[in-house]
Structure 1
């Protein structure tokens, strides 16, 4: 589907009150006209340059059942087939076999590491106390050989055997056997391997996703609850007739569920067992991909039986960090064994921000703890940034937002861009109070204490190249103030309009004043300030309007009711290499020419995304019977489903045919707007004119590809206002209508295009206020 690359964080900011906030044809496509010059085969759309960053499609866009604050797909149930398909695409080329996996990832490399003698004593104890496990000692063998053959490999019996075997190993594990002085896991945690293939775990976002067996943690005095928040290790047994790739993808989908249920999970361990013999593989999933052990044959102790026993012992003794939890920046309640979710009373540890001369600075000598209140956004998927956004509050009561995400180490830090925006006095963008980086996948998670982290992989060169592109670091940003994303269904039409206007102003200030192009305009990245909470307001030294060269964007003394957030995909406009075709953004809102891979991302593409955002928030949540005309091109229950679920070719063809070229079909879409959003139709029509109206052609709309001044007729810019422009000969028209990089439409500059859209949104806010 797409290449896998991505972005995040240190900053002080001086922002004005304007900068406040922070808190988202299923018809016959064959009958729709194709884009000019559109190829009919998908490969040219799917093969992006290696320097390209991916758009947010992946498993993250299939929406969570019982969504967190309206996350992405309007609360629709995540379909198992769609999820596993996207996960498979995420992990394509991101699977690697580590020859020393057990030693590197399962043994802590300390005196607490289980020894071979320990494993032999545990097997002896199992033989003497447990029957029917298929374990015995061949005393006639001079090596004192231990043997293990499960009584069955059938899917209806093997998971039960494996759990009995693993639990027996735990039962006979003690400090006296292991020589361990560790008290981990905490005594309040009860670990148990459970068979769950016939019963869904509570908290799942899809009842069809059921592991065969899992390792769970619970309270000592109570039963182990079968819910995703308590799962530590996932397991899958290869079914008869099932292909290994399908079995692996199923295991990966379970790992994704753990990432969803446990926001501070850094990696997830998995066990994949065979249906034809005593063999298994250990897997480890993280934000850069999946790593496996070589197949381990646990039939006898002169093969891998002792290694498997030692590994299962080590897993049962792992502390929170070794089990795959982020612990460096947080603390959690004493009554909990691991930082699983909100129930664990998680607090972050950060330095105290100080406001001095209107700049946010950080005093490294003053530490404070902030209790995380609510998880307001969570991105699913595995090979993603895995963004988690929490709300919190300073001790003084001001609301803050805490963002954790896995940033690609090849990209500029998000915090650096916020800092640059602050120095350029950008308005309409959130303020960073604190930013820190933590685990690095390559050096902290994969190295395992080995100086040559890539030398013991089965294909070391492939692993090395992959990690050069996909290495990530966990970043934490603390921002202020808070708000609600445009996707929040509780927002009134006026609040949505104010949010859109604030987002547009923030984007323009970021681009024209700060020299930064956002490249990810979506309903989750434009927020409306939450007036119900005390906000941390920063007031910078006033700038006289007469001396402010960017007063045309927005008067600094006029408050905005929202702001633009999330600079993960943003870049300095001057740093973008010429000709780089970066397909960035959130899938339904990506501009047509960017999604096609035809043009490098520029200002007009973000302006196009604003139109798609406006349409999206006006259509969702769908209100039954709200449309006067029902068109099969805009399905009644989910009008924009094609934009979310289709591939690049179908989405771009659909948008071109139904939004750009056909005013009647576009009008049918406007009829789908929710009650109270009728006035937004005029703004949508005017934005369509700003983006695609052709010069000198009346009410004719179309795509103009990016070109060079020399490709213009006469080498001169043409006026693109209504009724103006130059007539062209038919045979030359296609080549002559080419946009300059600094144009929104033919003959209309970025600045003038922004002013047109701003004027429309200002009218909308005014009409809704009356």
Structure 2
């Protein structure tokens, strides 16, 4: 499963008077679109790792950092093992359910028409038009392709002229269509863009060699990523095929970012060594390519290429790669490209069990999407998109689309389970629906015959068993701002942390669900300025509520916990390999090391990292004292950069040495807290003790999980002997073994929660005074 962290490499940063929050990859949030964070799935370093930073104070290079320093490598890692060659790619993906698909006879007529048109307009008698010549051998016409050159300078121009000529000479009489225009009802044009920036995601250095775009094309107006339908890359001189493919994939990622309802993207990869072309299709499970086509002559693959380009020019929204089943969009728009398309989600029926005050559960509802507030980049990811909306009665809601791995429980099912268990402090689900399944709907696979039609069928089958995904839509309430929002006051941050802790405890102790992805994006402060939905539920007397110790039901919370993408039922811990989940900078040490299964104390550890993060960011000039020679430990300009950018070994080593083992280094970290967050230092110190203090000692030390028989002295709680598990590190051999139900030695999960809750309650109270 995809998992992981976030943004920009500090080595590329130039000194800035004010740095924005390093955007974290984790879960849905409700931010303004101007600062859309990018989300990812934890642990593994994905392309979603780095944020889509806005240019800072006109510093364009800041907007380019994501591409220049990280993403190419990240995409290469993301697609490793996720590239497959389909032997019937053209038939399967370029002519799906298309009764009017062009034939090879149609392709020959198009090539003939191109040459005939050129002859009429040319001043010289020739049989070459747009690099195409017709030869006649033994009463058989053979069309030969003649690109002027295969250099990166000349080839993209030729390809676009050729592809546009094919479109121009495609007529209903050739394709069998009764319409005078393609189903898209849009003007499509292949354009060379390698020397032109494309507007859309602050990545002006991302420039495909050529693209198929929809809408009017004006040489005076820069193209936008929102209008790109197909991306193209011509292998540059000196680059290899793998590098060219990664570049093509990076363009597909930009299309996914700019077009929230895109479920797959076509790509065209051409060679600098000869007339060789490969079609690719990128989706949330990886990339599938055709066999390399030799388009030099019509008695090889030229006719296949022509018919494929004809089919692409006539595809409707669904076959071009847009999700259409759950949405509708304005008539003036050809595709559901982005928020400019007036997109509405189609009718949904609220889950009856929620008994909403303002919603008649017998009615179905339709909601206009108001604003895209969260998106996740990357390719092989959940691809999460979060929209705000409002019911007709005015209450604010959130609509979340994401690609869930079919090996995991559906997020909607866990929300429903939490609702049935009367969990508090967690977002409420109103509706959950699933749509496209990558294997069966997008790949037309799942049968032995279909899955065997790959160059390496077994590898493809194994990959899809691990990475098959299904698109799900959740409608949730309430709405709010994540802890990352720099406009939140210290009191609001404290209230959000307390609410997140309460929600997490209720989810675990009461609902039997472990969250496993605590991050600043997954805790929101409820927006009191908007009307929120309320629930009707039968009152439970405090005296009869077995979970009243978590939080009194009659006392409102100012925030809640969201995103159950990586949550699991606590009784269903997976067997076999340890499943490392979480958002990279906030993953507990032993989970990131791959030493322990994720349990309650690890999420509690993540809460400490979240508190520290929101207290340090955004960094304000002059707010952090430069303490030489220790500035390299917690850099004043970006204190926690090592947590975000280091590998697993360096991150865990840094946390153990500088946060757990050494109180002086931890004290230096507290000096990096922003103005107004001084009171948070006491809470951070107390949480550190809750997690790592040692019995009878004033020091803190990392403890590892063991068994009762591995207690100090080789005695378990009953006094029987037992051999301890060997670990490589000496400090781990000497440390106290924790029971799975303990936060620290001798302290249960429940008691550990109560300690942290008490600290946060104190913090809220003192900030309210």
Q: In the alignment, is the contact (CA less than 8 A) between 2:3 and 2:582 conserved in 1? A: no
What residue is the counterpart of 2:26 in the other structure? Answer: none
Give 1:710's aligned residue: 709
Residue 22 (structure 2) aligns with? none
* Shift in alpha-carbon separation, 1:442–1:484, aligned structure 2, 3 A: same
Alpha-carbon distance in structure 2 between the residues aligned to 1:191 and 1:364: 44
1:714-765 Cα shifts (integer Å, max 9, x gaps): 63569xxxxxxxxxxxx99945610000000111111111011001100110
Q: Quote the offset at 1:632 in angstroms.
A: 1.8
Name the CA distance, whole Å, in 2 between partners of 1:4 and 1:649.
19
TM-aligned CA distance change 1:684 to 1:227, over 3 Å: same
CA deviation after TM superposition for structure 1 residue 54, in Å: 5.9
Quote the Cα distance in structure 2 between the aligned partners of 1:378 and 1:545: 41
Deviation readout 1:56-115 (Å, 9 max, x if unpaired): 6311121112399xxxxx999414331111111110000000000000000134321111
Quote the residue 1:346 is aligned against: 343
Residue 118 of structure 1: aligned partner: 106
**In the alignment, does 2:115 pair up with 1:127?**
yes
Corresponding position of 2:743: 744
Is 1:171 aligned with 2:168?
Answer: yes
Q: What is the Cα deviation at residue 219 of structure 1?
A: 3.9
Report how far residue 272 of structure 1 moved: 0.3
| CA deviation after TM superposition for structure 1 residue 645, in Å | 1.3
Match among 90, 106, 114 for residue 102 of structure 1: 90
> Number of aligned pairs?
707
The 8 Å contact of residues 216 and 224 in structure 1, kept in 2 or not, is answered as no
CA drift of 1:496 comes to: 0.5
Match of residue 136 from structure 2: 139
CA distance in 2, matches of 1:132, 1:63: 46
- Segment of structure 1 superposing worse, 530-539 or 600-609: 530-539
Residue number in structure 1 paired with 2:767: 768
Contact 2:705/2:739, CA 8 A, preserved across alignment? yes
The DSSP-based 3-state class of the residue aligned with 1:257 is: helix
Matched, 1:476 2:473: yes
Label 1:379 to 1:760 Cα distance change in 2 as closer, same or farther (>3 A): same
Alignment check: 8 A CA contact 1:351 1:362 kept? no
Give secondary structure in 1 for the equivalent of 2:140: coil
Instruction: Using the TM superposition, give the Cα deviation of residue 545 of structure 1 relative to its aligned residue in structure 2, in angstroms.
Output: 0.5
* Residue in structure 2 matched with residue 696 of structure 1 by the alignment: 696
Contact 1:497 1:765 in 2 (8 A): yes
| 2:321 pairs with one of 317, 320, 324 | 324
Unpaired stretches in structure 1, ≥5 consecutive residues = 7-24, 28-52, 69-73, 719-730
For the residues of structure 1 that align with 2:662 and 2:191, how far apart are their CA atoms?
Answer: 57
Corresponding residue for residue 524 of structure 1? 521
Match of 1:505 in 2: 502
- Give the match's secondary structure for 1:741: coil
SS of the counterpart of 1:322?
helix
SS of equivalent to 1:611 = helix
Aligned partners of 1:255 and 1:268 also within 8 Å: yes
- Identify the residue that residue 554 of structure 1 maps to in structure 2: 551
Once the 2 structures are TM-superposed, how far is the Cα of residue 228 of structure 1 from its aligned partner?
A: 0.5
1:607-641 C-alpha deviation (Å, 9 max, x unpaired): 00001111111111110110123412222222211
Could you tell me which of 420, 431, 435 is aligned with 1:434?
431
Distance of aligned partners of 1:221 and 1:695 in 2 relative to their CA distance in 1, 3 Å threshold: closer
> Following superposition of structure 1 onto structure 2, how do residues 652-731 of structure 1 map, counting pairs within 5 Å?
652-698=652-698, 700-713=699-712, 715-716=715-716
Q: CA deviation at 1:693?
A: 1.0
> In the superposition, relative to structure 1, how do residues 347 and 67 fare at CA in structure 2: closer, same or farther (>3 Å)?
farther
SS of the counterpart of 2:674? coil
Partner residue, 1:575: 572
Give the secondary structure class of the aligned counterpart of 2:678.
coil
Q: Secondary structure at the match of 1:499?
A: helix
Q: Work out whether residues 435 and 477 of structure 1, in 8 Å CA contact, stay in contact via their aligned partners in 2.
A: yes
Structure 1 residue 622 and structure 2 residue 619: aligned?
Answer: yes
Shift of 1:674: 1.1
> How far off is 1:420 after superposition?
1.2
2:72 corresponding residue in structure 1: 84
Distance change in 2, residues 1:732/1:534 (3 Å): closer
**Relative contact order, CA 8 A, sep 6+: which one is greater?**
1
SS of residue paired to 1:406:
strand
* CA-atom RMSD in angstroms: 2.5
Pick one of 311, 322, 331 that aligns with 2:308.
311
CA distance in 2, matches of 1:319, 1:128: 30
Q: Does 1:191 align with 2:179?
A: no
Q: 1:243-642 alignment to 2 at 5 Å? A: 243-353=240-350, 358=355, 366-447=363-444, 452-577=449-574, 580-630=577-627, 631-642=631-642
Change (3 A) 1:365 1:504: closer
- Paired with 2:623 and 2:72, the residues of 1 have a C-alpha distance of 34
Alpha-carbon spacing, 1:356–1:259, altered in 2? closer, same or farther (3 Å): closer
Equivalent position SS for 1:253: helix
Q: Aligned residue for 2:27?
A: none
Can you list the C-alpha shifts for 1:149-171, whole angstroms capped at 9, x where unaligned?
A: 21100111100100110011111
SS in 2 for 1:466: helix
Q: 1:309 to 1:198 in 2, by over 3 A?
A: same
Change in Cα spacing, 1:182 to 1:603, as seen in structure 2 (3 Å) is farther
What is the CA-CA distance between 1:369 and the residue it aligns to? Answer: 2.1
1:170 and 1:675, CA in 2 relative to 1: closer, same or farther beyond 3 A? same
Higher mean alpha-carbon deviation, 432-441 vs 353-362, is at 353-362
1:139 aligns to what SS in structure 2? strand
TM-aligned CA deviation for residue 222 of structure 1: 10
Distance (whole Å) between structure 1 residues aligned to residue 47 and residue 329 of structure 2: 29
2:327–2:343 CA contact under 8 A, matched in 1: yes
8 Å CA contact retained: 1:286, 1:383: yes
Q: 1:372 to 1:298 in 2, by over 3 A?
A: same
User: Is the contact made by 2:391 and 2:397 (CA closer than 8 Å) also made in structure 1?
Assistant: yes
How far 1:656 moved relative to its partner? 1.1
Q: Which moved more, 1:708-717 or 1:285-294?
A: 708-717
Q: Partners of 1:249 and 1:589 in 2: how far apart?
A: 29
Q: More displaced, 285-294 or 580-589?
A: 580-589
Change beyond 3 A, Cα 1:4–1:483: closer
- Give, in whole Å, the separation in 2 of the partners of 1:405 and 1:86: 20
* Aligned residues of 2:445 and 2:451 also touching (Cα < 8 A): no
CA gap 1:67/1:541 in 2 versus in 1, 3 angstroms: farther
Partner of 1:245, secondary structure, is helix
| CA distance in 1 between partners of 2:451 and 2:354 (Å) | 48
Q: TM-score, length-normalised on structure 1? A: 0.88
Whether contact under 8 Å (2:257, 2:377) holds in the other structure is: yes
After TM superposition, give the deviation of residue 455 of structure 1 in Å: 1.3
Q: Paired residue for 1:17?
A: none
The CA distance in 1 between the partners of 2:429 and 2:289, in whole Å, is 38
Mark the CA change 1:546 to 1:399 in structure 2 (over 3 Å): closer, same or farther: same
SS of residue in 2 equivalent to 1:314: helix
Which SS does the other structure have where 1:251 is aligned? Answer: helix
Q: Deviations over 1:549-571 (max 9, x none)?
A: 11110000100000001000000
* Cα separation, 2, equivalents of 1:617 and 1:746: 28
Q: Deviations over 1:458-492 (max 9, x none)?
A: 00000001001110000000001111111111111
Match of 1:239 among 233, 236, 239: 236
